[in-house]
Chain A
Amino acid sequence: MNQHTSPNGQLIQLTGVTKTYPMGEGHIVALDDVSLGLRSGEFSGLVGPSGSGKTTLLNIVGSLDEPTSGQAVVLGEDVAALNEKRAAQLRNLHIGFIFQTFNLLAVYSVFENVEFPLLLLRQPAEQRRQAVTEALDRVGLADRATSRPHQLSGGQCQRVAIARAIVKSPQIVLADEPTANLDAENSHNVIRIMEDLNRDLGTTFLFSTHDEKVVGYLRRTITLADGRVVADETRSSEP
């Protein structure tokens, strides 16, 4: 995998990142002077209550948003300095997203949903077919390739979303509350799949979650409160 890292060897490097949103006469602070770094292959999570800034931080790392102040360097690129086209390219090439509500394209089949990022990359048909089949195999849905999202359970939908996120072999996968809409068993299955992908492919995973079941799997837990990092713990051994 082609690695892009910042000069200090971090895949993601946030330095003094602050994000504010206008609200009425004033503004609200979503992130307040956040500094942290993530190395390649990490399996990390942002935890904290609603409104603590988890999703905002994920959005900045995913180049969907930019900091109000401070610097966010992702894969060697300063997010604030990227124009829209370059930011889209960065996401297209190197970042996979997994959402709480799956966000599958309703009119596409499972295969087509997973194939979509590869179409954006203009990969040849045969290469796409192989990659999609492999991704679906990894999430255990090879037999549902022709199904539509509405024919799948929530757990299956999230597995399709995972396949879509990893099909292009991204360096980073950002998962925003990936288990929030799943029951315990499906949550467990989904998180195990991501853990396997992290181990097998070396893909860096960054979650936002307040699900205790997910937290148990994380090797690094970054706790946010009121937009600030209040704890950053790394576990030495796997659960």
Chain B
Amino acid sequence: MLLRFALKNLSGAGLRTALNVAVLSLVFVAIVTTQGLLEGMNRQASRAMVDAEYGGGQYWSPDFDPYDPLSYSQAQEPVPPRLRDLVERGAAVEELIVQGTIYPEGRVFPVLIRGIDPGQELLDLPAHVLSDSTAEIPGLIGERMARSTGLGAGDSVTLQWRDRNGTFDARDVTIDEVMKTTVQSIDKGQIWVPIETLRALTGRHGEATLVVVRQGETEHPEVEDWSFKTVDYLLTDIHNLIMSKTLGSMIVYVILLFLAMLAVFDTQILSIFHRRKEIGTLMAMGLTRRQVTVLFTLEGSLIGAFAAVLAFLYGAPALWWLSRVGWRLPETTDSYGFAVGEVLYPYYGPWLVVVTTVILLAVTTGVSYLPARRILKYRATEALRGKIL
């Protein structure tokens, strides 16, 4: 009954209702769009990093700490037999990481020399070019590395490193290919070489810094001293980064939502003011104050519900289209540190839509109730005379 009255009153309010619904639906679509972009960024970056670097998780040698550059000089250990078994049956790939220096165009450029099996297919890394090469020491670098060093495919550069005894050694590396990747951590300051070559150059036969497990591999044997890092652990940084961006964007949502709710609140206040006599009349006809309060609150809530429906009607096709064509990112985005590439594909999960809808409806109902609750204190006789409390 009250719902019927509320619907009638809203349709009677005409333009005022339409404007509120339109504004609220825009806020709804804006929130879902931006949240979807961030979620898409999270998924895209995570996917790229898993494919290119993390695989199904990594075993780290005892002293390896990617956040401590000083640990690199000790972070090479013989690969334990159980991990070697995984490698031999194609369920894992070894990486040997050694600090070094290159001298492009006379400049000193510190690098991480990363040795990997050129035949590996676990990671999305064109390591096969290293086996096709005729160079004595073939090398693979990324686009960002190429830009910062001025190196290109076919160029040679002097590479210096310390062997396991701490003795400096140097050779020329020939860059076989400049790879295009969105994952900066396999690109910037990195030079990839065949693992056996690197082992030979450093005298670290059979050693590795980490072992990357194949995606979907369920066997993660306990290995003494080597620690297994899950994908979730490895992605913690990117998740935290996205979370910080999400929290930042929340401020914008709160402001947007606040403005929309201000409109609803304002409408409710005006509505109650203009309809004082109606409130009294409704009470005289047999509605209780609580019922009248519910009626006015319902009118506000319905604005939120209509906004959600309207947002779905025009937002769903628009957001579907955006998820197909993606959001082309500006050049500067690459410097943010996200492995998202040139185009960001937003992801709108059902959870995002449901949560946003529930929040919108809950906030609209709350904002509608705040002014409407004053009716609970109204006396019908005062309302009929057009008095306000």
Residues of chain A whose beta carbon lies under 8 Å from any beta carbon of chain B:
59, 62, 64-65, 84-85, 88-89, 91-93, 97, 99, 101, 103, 105-108, 112, 116-117, 119-120, 122
Contacts and interface: CB of A to CB of B under 8 A. Distances in A.
A187 B102 CA distance: 105
Nearest to A65: B381
Contacts of B283: 64, 88, 91
Contacts of B11: 107
A182 B1 CA distance: 33
Residue in B278, B281, B286 with the greatest tally of chain A CB atoms within 10 Å: B286
Interface string B351-381: 0000000000000000000000000000111
Nearest to B290: A84
A101 B8 CA distance: 22
B286 A103 contact: no
A65 B381 CA distance: 7
Contacts, number: 64
27 contacts: A59-B380, A59-B381, A62-B284, A64-B283, A64-B284, A64-B380, A64-B381, A64-B384, A65-B380, A88-B288, A88-B291, A91-B283, A91-B285, A91-B286, A92-B285, A92-B286, A101-B277, A103-B278, A103-B281, A103-B384, A106-B278, A108-B12, A112-B8, A116-B285, A119-B1, A119-B4, A120-B286
Contacts of B254: none
A123 to B, nearest CB: 11
Nearest to B281: A103
Contacts of A62: 284
B285 A106 contact: no
Given A64-B381, A119-B1, A120-B1, A103 B288 contact: no
Contacts of A91: 283-286
A149 B98 CA distance: 87
Contact of A105 (B281, B286, B291): B281
Contacts of A122: 1
B18 to A, nearest CB: 14
